[in-house]
Amino acid sequence: MECPMEESELHKGFRKTGSGMFVPRDQSQNWCRHFGVRKDKTLYLREEEVLYLRDKEAKEGYPTKTKAYFFVKNSGYNLLPGEGGRFLLYRKHKDFNREKDKAICLMKYVSRDECIQDVCKDAGDEALCVLSDDVFTFLKIRRVERLDSSTPEGLKKRNAPSP
């Protein structure tokens, strides 16, 4: 995938690594605490995170995965890299601390052509962002411990006579 940012824009505040990650030139402040992954006291950002820091609105030419990332961020969540290609989804707030805050769930980007059963074999509660060529949607996967035929309380009509 080609970088949607002009090369001159990249050099303003970030250095691109050989692996395609971006390192902020000034890491003395805590302005990126809602982004990236820290390794050996260096913060590494993905391309979509750098694009989001530049402009909070997704542009027409951005890849679908980048547009989905913008949607998550603009909906009040933080999405930080986890393990195994999964991301950690957090509620966004001004005192966010990745060490102390608890993730809502794991999230993974998947192609519309992937078999969902294969993607979530080992998952407990997880969110999937299903990517198409130009659209995306989110699925929440929940582990079912026990199947039964009773109606959950939240789906029962109120003031209805019980059988």
Q: Please tell me whether residue 149 adopts helix, strand or coil conformation.
A: coil
pLDDT at 1: 46
**Residue 2: is its pLDDT beyond 60?**
no
Band the pLDDT of 160: cuts 50, 70, 90.
low
Q: How far is CA 130 from the centre of its chain?
A: 12
Band the pLDDT of 119: cuts 50, 70, 90.
low
pLDDT at 136: 94
**Residue 11: is its pLDDT beyond 60?**
no
Beta bridge partners of 15: 23
Specify burial of residue 58 (Cβ count, 10 A radius: 0-12, 13-18, 19+).
buried
Q: What are the chain's domains? A: 7-143 (3.40.1350.10)
Q: Which of 54-58, 73-77, 157-161 is the most confident on average?
A: 73-77
pLDDT at 63: 93
Average pLDDT over residues 42-71: 91
pLDDT at 120: 60
Band the pLDDT of 156: cuts 50, 70, 90.
confident
- Tell me 155's DSSP state: G
pLDDT tens-digit series, residues 26-40: 877 677 778 888 888
